[in-house]
Each structure stands twice: as C-alpha cells, then as structure tokens.
Amino acid sequence: MSPTTPIKPVKPIKSALSVILPAYNEEGNIERAVRSSAEAVAPLVEEFEIVAVDDGSRDQTPSILARLKEEMGSRLSIVTHETNLGYGTALRAGFDAARGRLVFYTDADNQFDLKELVDFLPLMDEHDAVLGYRVGRQDGSFRLMVSNGYNALASLAFGMSVRDLNCSFKLFRREALTSLHLEEDHFFIDTEIVVQLHRAGYRYTQRGVRHYPRTAGKSTVKLSDVPFTFAALLKLWVKLRLLSPSKAKLAPHD
C-alpha cells in the first residue's frame, strides 16, 4: 500500500464492548495499557468501557489509575482489591463489573495490540467466543515447550483442539461468559473458561494475534506455577469427566 492510498474506514460494530485489564504492580505499563486500549477500540465499536482491576498493587498502579479515572470519567471503571487475590479472582471481578454485550480481556503488560480486535469482532456474528493464539510468541524455549505440552494434554483430556489456552486475548458474548461457573483464583482460569465453553456447546473459533516483548515490569508467572497448573488440570478433569460427566451433546468447533 502506497503512502497516498486512502485507508477504508472501519464501520463500528453496533455493540458495547467491555475491555478487562487485570493489573498487579504494573506502574510501568498501566497508563499505556489503558490509553492504547481506549484508542484501539474507539473506532471499532459504538460504545466501550475499560475495566481495570487493581489486584492489590503495592506500587504506583492505584494512583495512576485514579489520575486516569479523573481524565476519562465513565470510559474507565476501576475495581480495587486491597490485597493480591490472584489473576483468576481479578478476572472474575472484572467480568462481574463489565456492562458491555461483548467482553474482552487481556493483560496490562502491553504484549498485544488491541487494534487486532478489528479481525475478531466480525467473527462474533457467528460465534460466542473468539480465542486468540500467540503468533511470534516472546517467551523462552523452556516456557514454550511446557506450554505446547500443556495445550496438547489439556486438549486431549477434554476432547477439544485449542492451540493456546493461556493466551490472554479472548473475546466473548456476555451471556456465554456469565453462564459459566468459574471458581479458579489463579492462572488456571484461562483453561477453566475454555473447557467450560467447550463442554457447554458454545460456538468458538481461534485466531492468531501478534505477541510483543514486555518492555516494563516483569511477569508474575513463575516456574513454581508449572506443577500447580498441571495439578489443577488433573483436578478439573476428575471433577468434570468422572464426578460430573457432561450429558450435553457438544457442537463441533473451529
């Protein structure tokens, strides 16, 4: 495309969109995350809100959010936890606070470009959820190996085919999301969401999204989370496949 080629404007989707941003000690990222989220989604939907969940941050994250709230007004909602309750708890709090017919969540570390939602939103005409998978993933080889193994094992365990369960770039119809019985407090909530969507027969598809390096702060995911996550996977499998096997006929998914 030449510099003089006019860019075709995007017709906004006639839906309200809630963007959930869980944050814990993200003082170096949170302002950019909020501002770039608002800038990215404003042309894509007729109405939107940013729901930032401060999960007990001990840095300047709360004061930065308070300043942004004064500037952005109703465009920004803030949910505050006095102590750190975990990623899953933060997400569930954001879901409870969301008012949009469509609900999207991502992390506040700026490793995704929310402008890519332009390719996700039209898919909601025929789906209840669009699950992102990371393209050009910016993680070390060991973490990639563990993640690939985990995705394969979880897909096999629950009879589905999901490329990147833990990708924090997911879009939902509100009614599908709120129908789920989410209990997980930590990072396993990504898997809990997808497994419940699948077993309930909701229509979902998957789409790639570019993954960028973190430029500020550091990830709260630790090596010690690996055995915990696999143990949580086993616990969920026992609960759903043995203790309460699904009687629903599952629809095919992309």
CATH number of residue 58's parent domain: 3.90.550.10
Residue 149 lies in a domain: yes
Binning the chain into helix, strand and coil, the percentages to the nearest 5 are 40, 20, 40
pLDDT at 252: 40
What are the two backbone dihedrals, phi and then psi, of residue 112, each rounded to the nearest 5 degrees? Answer: -130, 155
Residue 7 lies in a domain: no
- Give bridge partners of residue 208 from the DSSP assignment: 133
**Cβ contact 132:167 at 8 Å:** yes
Q: What percent of the chain has pLDDT over 90?
A: 67
Residue 254 lies in a domain: no
Residue 252 lies in a domain: no
Domain range for 90 is 13-243
What does the alpha-carbon distance between residue 94 and residue 84 come to, in Å, rounded to a whole number? 14
Residue 6 has pLDDT above 70, yes or no: no
Residue 46 has pLDDT above 90, yes or no: yes
Q: Residues 146-167: what's their mean pLDDT?
A: 90
What does the alpha-carbon distance between residue 176 and residue 165 come to, in Å, rounded to a whole number? 17
Residue 152 has pLDDT above 50, yes or no: yes
pLDDT at 157: 87
pTM reported for the whole predicted model: 0.85
Residue 64 lies in a domain: yes
**Cβ contact 75:52 at 8 Å:** no
Residue 112 lies in a domain: yes
What does the alpha-carbon distance between residue 170 and residue 150 come to, in Å, rounded to a whole number? 18
Number of domains in the chain: 1
Q: Residues 164-184: what's their mean pLDDT?
A: 95
Q: Residues 156-184: what's their mean pLDDT?
A: 94
Q: Which residues fall within 8 angstroms of residue 51, CB to CB, at 6 or more apart?
A: 18, 19, 20, 21, 77, 78, 79, 94, 97, 98
Residue 174 lies in a domain: yes
Residue 251 lies in a domain: no
pLDDT at 223: 55
Q: Which residues fall within 8 angstroms of residue 122, CB to CB, at 6 or more apart?
A: 13
Task: Name residue 234's amino acid.
Answer: L
Kind of pairing, strands 102-106 and 129-135? Answer: unpaired
Share the mean pLDDT of the chain: 87
What are the two backbone dihedrals, phi and then psi, of residue 2, each rounded to the nearest 5 degrees? Answer: -80, 160
